[in-house]
Amino acid sequence: MLPIVLTMGDPAGIAGEITLMAWRARREKNLPAFFVLDDPARLQRLAQDVGLDVPVRAVQSAAEAAAAFPRALPVLPLTLPTPVQLGQPNPANAPAVIAAIDRAVALVRRGEAAAVVTNPIHKHSLYAAGFKAPGHTEYLAQLAGPGVRPVMMLACPTLRVVPVTVHVSLRQAVDSLSTDEIVANAEITARALVQDFGIAEPRLAVAGLNPHAGEDGSIGDEEQTIIAPAIARLRKQGINVIGPLPPDGMFHDEARVRYDAAICMYHDQALIPLKALGFWDGINVTLGLPFVRTSPDHGVAFDLAGRGLARPESLIAAIAAAADFAARRNSPASTRRSVA
């Protein structure tokens, strides 16, 4: 299998540390070969500073990275415009952060790497440098080309969730919610559950918006006017859907066995249960792209950078999942019912 390519992420955060830790855990976690787009000298200094016994090797290609991986962390070099101060984001280094994303996608699309795993970025630093996309997901969709609709999924071993509205205020989320948006997100989710997760007959649960799913319109009518019509359209397509379900009762153990992914109406409705159940090993998956992309489900953690306190579980899970998804895309006949 081709190696996985990791992006730099914000160099002032914990991305470098967790990448080093992931390589150190490669045998214990049975990780596939991976390499990172970064500054090799920076990563070597970082390993020494935080006490990680990780050899770093500069490589010139993905093929060379795969050969080097058993003995050292392979790094495809990128130059940082200015020295990094851990915990101190610097927009001057934003071009290198963006270049790492661009190059990682190009490597996968050329068939030199199997999948992209993105380390956490600091969006405010990128905005200060002229970055126009709202975030990783939207930027990756731009790189994928016209007609691509990205969908954000968060997944852990016991739950998968997809928020229909994402990084907007709660008021905006309610105002922008529509039947078409719910249907589009659910359609992409159902296809991804087959293609990437290997679930032959995916089951979706759709959350209500209001307390108790509106109680037949007595606590809001969005369930009747927006959500139920979406469910009806999905069922007509042959998608197995239940709902709208009361959000406060659909995430306990017995409820979760009834579905493979939950379609949620807004960001925190999805992410609160996901992070309660899988805070350390949850991952972010971008559905709807023509290539595989995963990432940790956490941010840059500037307050932890360089202190040896970062935890790599989410990145490790993202690498393993990316390899799993890429392998399934190459073997579409291989399906099985599973969790994340």
pLDDT of 242-269, one tens digit each?
999 999 999 999 999 999 999 999 999 9
The DSSP line for 37-89 is: EE-HHHHHHHHHHTT----EEE-SSHHHHHHHTTTSEEEEE---SS--BTTB-
Same domain? For 118 and 140 the reply is yes
Residues 17 and 31 placed together within one structural domain of the fold: yes
Give yes or no: residues 46 and 109 share one domain.
yes
Domain count, the chain: 2
Is the domain of 17 the same as that of 134?
Answer: yes
Closest CA to 23 of 36, 42, 12: 36
- Domain containing 135: what range? 1-148+286-315
- Is residue 80 in some structural domain? yes
Judge if 176 and 126 occupy the same domain: no
Q: Strand ranges (DSSP E) for 157-306?
A: 159-163, 203-207, 240-245, 261-264, 283-287, 293-296
Peptide bond into 312 cis (omega under 30): no
Q: Is residue 290 located within the same domain as residue 144? A: yes
Are 231 and 116 part of one and the same domain?
A: no
Q: Mean pLDDT of successive 10-residue segments in the chain (340 residues)? A: 96 98 97 98 96 97 96 97 94 95 97 98 87 86 92 97 94 96 98 96 97 91 96 98 97 97 97 95 96 96 94 98 95 49
Measured in degrees and rounded to the nearest 5, phi and psi for residue 38 equal: -170, -175
CATH number at residue 13: 3.40.718.10
- Judged by phi (left if over 0) then psi (alpha if -120 to 50, else beta), residue 274 lies in alpha
- Both 27 and 97 in one domain: the answer is yes
The answer to whether 282 and 154 have CB atoms below 8 angstroms apart is yes
> Within this chain, do residues 6 and 142 fall inside the same structural domain, yes or no?
yes
Backbone CA torsion sign across 282, 286, 287, 289: negative
Report how far apart, in Å, the C-alpha atoms of 201 and of each of 122, 190, 193, 197 are.
38, 9, 8, 11
**Location of structure tokens 């153990």:** 253
Q: Name the percent of the chain in helix, strand, coil, to the closest 5.
A: 40, 15, 40
SS3 221: coil
Q: b/e map of 45-57 (b: 16 or more CB within 10 Å)?
A: ebbeebebebebb
Q: Is pTM beyond 0.85 here?
A: yes
